Amino acid sequence: MKKNMLHKIYIFFIILFTLNCCYNEKNKFKIPEEELNNYNVDINLERMEQDVFDRSKEATKKHQFLLNKYGDFYKYYFAYIIGAGDPDGPTSSKRLDDFIKDSTVNLFYNELKKEFNNFHPFENELTKAFKHYKYYFPDSAVPKVTTFYSNFEYQVLDTKYGLAIGIELFLGKENPLIKRLPKNIFHQYLIDKMEKKFLSSRTLYGFLYNRFYTPLGDDLISSIIAEGKIYYLLKLILPELPENIIMLYDKDELNWCINNQNNVWKLMINKQLIYSKDKRMINDFILLGPSTKQLGPDSPAYVGKWIGFQIIKDYANSTNKSINEILEEKNVQTLLSTYDPK
């Protein structure tokens, strides 16, 4: 009887500890609304695709208008994204006009008008994310955000002019025009990442990566932990997004990671992968593809990044370190010391 009672008490404290950990983790990402409201953030959203395809302006006047409004970004767009040559050349206006009259380009622009005419939900989500960003990094600047038709070149372009989002690459895998893209170029694993729901997380991942990613070493464990820091920071500034959206996974892919976390870690240890410097193997764990080949065809891509995210979450929860302290910590063994592959 006494032994049974002790067992029940033990189970009770285990459950209490688990719930407390979950509560602490959830609240670590939650900032009171009144504190966020202290940060006045304006992402200065501009819809460049609307200006480019505006038929109310004569071609020469429109070309000059775009040069004046978007400056060097438009010059780059003109020369390298739509491949129209020298933006200051004598035939530049005609080349722009030819581009916007292209029948295929117009099909996609009409889809953009239909699907992204109201961009306010994304604008609000990005604005709130940058309020979180200012909370953690009050001295940092918030970039201007521009949407544009990227000619299927870029989902996100992070430049000195600001963040540019190629919104046709977020039309969704079920969109009829997206389904017609050539499969030898746009593989299914690329199409799967073109969902609207991924727009904010994909945009902000690129922004954070370019500013905070710091290599920790040239082996697998260093690579995935360095990536894990970026995903942890991404979750901090997008606290309301579920983890699968943060990772650009569907729910089944995230569940695979959760259910197989311990087995994946054991495999990485037993096969002596974590300290391997084999670049091809490391890329398998961190780059986009149909799966993580080392883990079989049923696995999602870049499982190593997700493991790195869990390592950083465990470290943050166990040590109560600030995000700046976590970003500054370069010792891989220190960051790994609290990891518990459940």
| pLDDT value of position 27 | 55
Backbone angles phi, psi at 162, to 5 degrees: 130, -170
**Annotated domain spans of the chain:** 2-30, 46-208, 214-336
Amino acid occupying residue 150: S
Nearest one of 314, 286, 197, 292 to 246, comparing CA atoms = 197
Low-confidence residues of the chain, pLDDT below 70? 1-29
Nearest one of 312, 295, 159, 291 to 227, comparing CA atoms = 312
Number of H helices, E strands in the chain: 17, 4
| pLDDT value of position 238 | 98
| pLDDT value of position 37 | 83
Q: How many CA atoms lie within 13 A of 92 on its CB side?
A: 19
CA distance 328 to 31: 22
Amino acid occupying residue 243: E
CA distance 314 to 337: 9
| Residue pointed to by tokens 């299927």 | 152
pTM: 0.90
| pLDDT value of position 210 | 96
| pLDDT value of position 33 | 81
Note the pLDDT tens digit of each residue in 303-315. Answer: 999 999 999 999 9
Bridge partners of 164, per DSSP, are 146, 157
Q: Are 129 and 204 in contact (CB under 8 A)?
A: yes
Amino acid occupying residue 209: Y
Question: Structure tokens of 166?
Answer: 């190629």
| pLDDT value of position 28 | 63
Note the pLDDT tens digit of each residue in 241-296. Answer: 999 999 999 999 999 999 999 999 999 999 999 999 999 999 999 999 999 999 99
Q: Are 181 and 282 in contact (CB under 8 A)?
A: no
Sign of CA dihedral 267, 269, 274, 279: negative
Running DSSP on this structure, what letter comes out for residue 153?
S
Please provide the DSSP assignment of 87-121 as one string. Answer: TTSTTHHHHHHHHHH-HHHHHHHHHHHHHHS--HH
